[in-house]
Structure 1
Amino acid sequence: MYGISDLASEFAVTTRTIRFYEEQGLLKPRRKGQERVYSARDRVTLKLILRGKRIGFSLVECKELIDMYDPRSGNRKQLKRFLEKIEERRQQLDRQLADIQQMQLELQAAEQRCRTALQDCATCE
């Protein structure tokens, strides 16, 4: 069992972040008086949410994958869906990378035009 401060400290997030995930239905702590008590499953869920966020998944995507957890089936459905999501994310990143590379080329061209124009202006003075 873990307290909210324990999890926040372990994963370097704020208690507010944990409460937000709770409000979104991703974490389901028990109550012990006014105190929230998180289970080992909640801890793993938080770890998965944070890992998913790091690789660019939305909370909705994280929730979808977490809700598919079913150890009785060996998690085949969950793992297949996770692979689909990874491929989608990879394709999105490839598109973004191509966009960034194109922008860099355009910036280079604009910079070169500006430098040429400045040189031409220097001879005009």
Structure 2
Amino acid sequence: MSTTYSISDLARELDITTRAIRFYEEQGLLAPERRGQERIYSARDKVSLKLILRGKRIGFSLAECRELIELYDPTSGNHIQLNSMLAKITERREQLEQQLLDIEQMKLELDTAEERCTQALAQTISQVGQ
């Protein structure tokens, strides 16, 4: 028999709320079995949830997480999923590098604006004092 989890088991094990798990289920990222009102999560659901949480931490969208989950195929060694993940990691890294450049440029512009304001303020104060 394969391992199954209740929603509270997964929430406790992965340190997230049951509400978050239900949200991912509503988004179609998880598909637990139902026994009456009880949700029964499979090992695959747990792997999907781990992938969602990891993706979220590194800035992937839910659509990107969904795409990676759909590629999950343990029988093939997950080669397609892993290659897709590597491509997304490269893309995300490039986005972050560009954001860093943009932030550095913004800091330079702030420094320039601050310097001009400080000079203008000093000039205004000296003119008032004359």
* TM band (smaller chain): over 0.9
Query: What does residue range 56-95 of structure 1 map to in structure 2 within 5 Å?
Result: 56-95=59-98
Shift of 1:74: 1.8
- The 5 A counterparts of 1:90-109 are 90-109=93-112
Distance 2:73 2:47 in 1: 14
Partners of 1:62 and 1:4 lie apart in 2 by 20
Aligned to 2:9: 6
Percentage of matched positions with identical amino acids: 66
More deviation in 15-24 or 82-91? 15-24
Partner Cα distance (2:98, 2:38) in 1:
46
**RMSD between superposed Cα atoms in Å:** 1.3
Q: Distance in 1 between matches of 2:44 and 2:53?
A: 14
Paired residue secondary structure (2:40)? strand
Alignment match of 2:122 (pick from 116, 119, 123): 119
Q: Shift in Å at residue 91 of structure 1?
A: 0.8
Once the two structures are TM-superposed, the CA of residue 77 in structure 1 deviates from its matched residue by: 1.2
TM-score by length of 1: 0.92
Where 1:113 maps in the other structure, the secondary structure is helix
- The 2-side partners of 1:35 and 1:69 are apart by 25
1:20 is paired with a residue whose SS is helix
CA shift at 1:12, angstroms? 2.9
- Structure 1, unaligned stretches of length 5 or more? none
Match of 1:18 in 2: 21
Deviation of residue 60 (structure 1)? 0.8
Point out 4+ residue stretches in structure 1 off by more than 6 angstroms. none
Write out aligned runs for 1:44-59 (5 A). Answer: 44-59=47-62
Structure 2, unmatched stretches of 5+, are none
Write the distance in 2 (CA, Å) between the matches of 1:9 and 1:108. 47
Report the Cα offset of residue 54 of structure 1. 0.5
